[in-house]
Amino acid sequence: MSTVKLVEEAVANPRVRAVFDDIKATKKIERVPNIWRALATHPEHLELCWTRLKAIMRPGKIDMLTKEIIALAVSVTNGCEYCINSHTAAVQKLGLDNDGLGEVLAVVGLYNQMNRLADAYQIDPDILPKVV
C-alpha cells in the first residue's frame, strides 16, 4: 500500500490537474497511473518529473519500443515491481510478443550474470571505447 494518500484527479489543484491532463493526453490513457498520483503530493516535484520524462520518452535516434525495452531492462535489474509491471505492459502494447519478451529478458539475465563475473575476477577493460 502506498505510503502517501494518492491524489484523486477530481480534487487535484489546478497545477496538478494540468500535469494530470497532459499525462492522459500524451499517453492516450483514461486515468492517471498511480505513480503520478503519489508524486502529486509534491506538485513541484510532479512537474519536474513529468516534464523531464516527456522530453526523454519520445522517438529520437532511438525508437519508442527500444526506449521501453531499456526501461524494462533497468527496472528488472533494480527489481522494481511497479516498474516491471508498467514497462512489461508498455512493450506488449507496442507489439512485443512473448517470444520477443523472452529474448529481451534472456539478454537482461545474461548480462546480470556476466557483470558479476567481470566484477568477481576484477577484470581490467580490454580496449577503451573510441572517445569521440
Which residues 56-85 are close enough to bind a second copy by CB under 8 A? 56-57, 60-62, 66-67, 69-85
Interface residues for a second copy in 24-43 (CB under 8 A)? 33-35, 38-39, 41-42
Q: What is the size of the binding site for a second copy (CB under 8 A)?
A: 85
Rounded to whole angstroms, how far apart are CA atoms 84 and 108?
A: 13
Does the protein bind a second copy through residue 14 (CB under 8 A)? no
Does the protein bind a second copy through residue 19 (CB under 8 A)? no
DSSP secondary-structure letter at 130?
-
Rounded to whole angstroms, how far apart are CA atoms 42 and 11?
A: 15
Does the protein bind a second copy through residue 18 (CB under 8 A)? no
Nearer to a second copy, 21 or 114 (CB): 114
Query: Distances from the Cα of 85 to the Cαs of 5, 22, 26, 63, 117, in angstroms?
Result: 21, 22, 20, 21, 28
Rounded to whole angstroms, how far apart are CA atoms 105 and 93?
A: 17
Rounded to whole angstroms, how far apart are CA atoms 64 and 39?
A: 24
Interface residues for a second copy in 99-118 (CB under 8 A)? 99-118
Nearer to a second copy, 8 or 62 (CB): 62
